[in-house]
A and B are shown apart, each in its own frame.
Chain A
């Protein structure tokens, strides 16, 4: 006879010690009594983990998870659940209950549960200053496998098959890129690690460099072997002193062990790595500008083609890979392409690290399988928005990306879906924007950045970013018209299509995506002369409501003395003198001061 239900009884040693053994006897007894024994299959299983909560009983097909089950509970489970089909709520394992229970280790907290670590596999677990700890975690075995068991072509094929795509922003398949450089014959080739990390608010590359520097060295060497290069550079900004220190130490230790040097693993592959310090310019993250900077030139980009894979550093074929891309490579080489392909989605394999910031409870770094939804990242891992505020949008891709509005949060994180939503993956910045933010103001922030960082070589970017910022300032000050918005959009499209390099081509993206999704907010600034987010100073006014208790705090703290009123009386603000600094609002103990 076919059983209609399966009952799994955890019989790991932890649960048995807590009394799981007698549970089975109890089940037998009660099921017999109810005469349903033949319909139910009893299975003793191994440990399901979470032993704190055991013994466990799991009932299928529903998959109901009963925790901390004692023999006395079985009668009820049999009579209610198995006989009448009513789940015994009070015995069900409730994740929320853990709030009152002790949650001790990181991997038990929700922040961690939906994460999957490949690039950051060693960060926080090994001593980055000790090469032996990296080796203990199978470090340099991927390189060994590549050098001893595989031809360069096979290494490239393995990378291509793994589906790894560049994590620096473009998402170009790494193996394919290596293939280009492999096919370009030359007496000398180079590999470069791009550790410039210029996107404001992004710091995942820094975390990897500081926490697991050897994975970068190993990744770089595998890349070098694959394309036929004997020299690698790491281009890192001088603003990352700890990362530089760790890298230097890692290179020194790897040289001492002969992992960098001549005839590595007794093969005829030799490799050397040097660090090059950048001054911290956003444009120097762009590969042609980066190459110019290493060559000692001013950091300015040039036209492509020729691509660096054909003509790069000192005119030789060169591969540039991002830090996070490289950190994935040793793991892929060691575990194989097929292993890597098990994580992520069809066209987006593996994981991506994001710097989660802005209006979010758990700010920090998260590494999730590609294909995870934005909502999962923000609410399950990120813990949602502080102060019960509503989410307005998520900004991905930093100054080159766009904002994704709340109604699109359920899209899976993939290179293509983010572009379809008007943004992009970028290098991994993820800024959560709540309802109290102003989109015009956020655009101003990013444009302010790109105006500073434009290298000035091409006119659309040099002049265009400046003009766009001016227009945003006009809108923000309330002096704009609907025509200003149209002009802004036209200019943004022009700069996007006519700039020389990725910096200028992407600089208008924040504006274009915000205009696309939040045009009404721009229009409110020019038509109603209001700022819905309550941010743009020229368009807001501070008022004291009759909640005021007359404590005089606001008047005492006003820097321009424009608040009048006597003790225990309602105070008022002289609007003509107010500079809208918000100091009064910050000190008011009863939230009586509002903005309109």
Chain B
């Protein structure tokens, strides 16, 4: 790292990775993979996402492991970011992954059974 400009360049290029701007930036799936998430079963959830996205060639979907957001009692937590809309799913299992992909990511309809509002007001 030679200068602040180098850093800014990386920053500007990486912006896309963390924000969703415009319709064509795709869909971002965040899976909570801290110790609390992993012990609640986030690994098979993550693997399932990768597996299906790969199998079905869902090109505009990126899956990202992230840390803990503090809601450790209702892990595994999965967040789906589409445009500027964010949906938080909790207690996601492998069946839930299938439904989220089919109904939400492909079908465009939030899967009510797993949304955080079911567990927290």
What residues make up the interface of A, taking CB atoms closer than 8 Å to B? Answer: 96, 98-99, 101-111, 115, 120, 122-130, 132-133, 135-138, 140-141, 144, 148, 203, 206-208, 210-212, 240, 242-243, 257-259, 264-266, 362-367, 383
Contact = CB atoms under 8 A, between A and B. Distances in A.
A207 B15 contact: no
B121 A264 contact: no
Contact of A102 (B11, B19, B30, B117): B117
28 contacts: A103-B121, A104-B115, A105-B87, A106-B88, A107-B86, A109-B120, A124-B32, A124-B69, A126-B66, A127-B17, A130-B64, A136-B15, A136-B19, A138-B11, A144-B4, A203-B35, A203-B36, A206-B34, A206-B35, A210-B34, A211-B67, A243-B35, A258-B1, A265-B3, A265-B4, A265-B7, A364-B72, A365-B69
Contact of A126 (B18, B73, B77, B112): B18
Nearest to B18: A136
A124 B18 contact: no
Interface in B62-89: 64-73, 77, 79, 85-88
A365 B72 contact: yes
Nearest to B39: A242
Given A133-B17, A136-B17, A123 B67 contact: yes
User: Among the interface residues B3, B15, B38, B66, which one has the most CB atoms of the partner chain A within 10 A?
Assistant: B66
A138 B8 CA distance: 9
Interface of B: 1-4, 7, 10-11, 13-15, 17-19, 30, 32, 34-36, 38, 64-73, 77, 79, 85-88, 110, 112, 115-117, 120-121
Contacts of B116: 103-106, 109
A335 to B, nearest CB: 16
A104 B87 contact: yes
B10 A257 contact: yes
Contacts of A137: 18
A546 B71 CA distance: 43
Given A103-B121, A106-B71, A206-B34, 10 more contacts: A103-B120, A104-B115, A109-B121, A124-B66, A133-B17, A207-B68, A210-B67, A265-B4, A364-B70, A365-B70
A259 B15 CA distance: 19
B115 A102 contact: yes
B88 A104 contact: yes
Given A110-B121, A364-B73, A144 B7 contact: yes
Contacts of B71: 106, 111, 362, 364
Contacts of B86: 104-107
Given A104-B117, A364-B71, A365-B72, A135 B66 contact: no
B82 to A, nearest CB: 11
Nearest to A256: B1
B19 to A, nearest CB: 8
A132 B64 CA distance: 13
Given A106-B79, A383-B120, A132 B13 contact: yes
A194 to B, nearest CB: 19
Nearest to A134: B14
A127 B65 contact: yes
B70 A367 contact: yes
B30 A98 contact: no
Contact of B110 (A98, A104, A110, A257): A104
Nearest to A264: B1
A210 B18 contact: no
Nearest to B69: A124
Contacts of A240: 35
B56 to A, nearest CB: 22
Contacts of A103: 115-117, 120-121
B57 to A, nearest CB: 22
B91 to A, nearest CB: 13
CB-CB nearest 6 A-B residue pairs: A211-B67, A103-B117, A124-B69, A365-B70, A136-B14, A132-B14
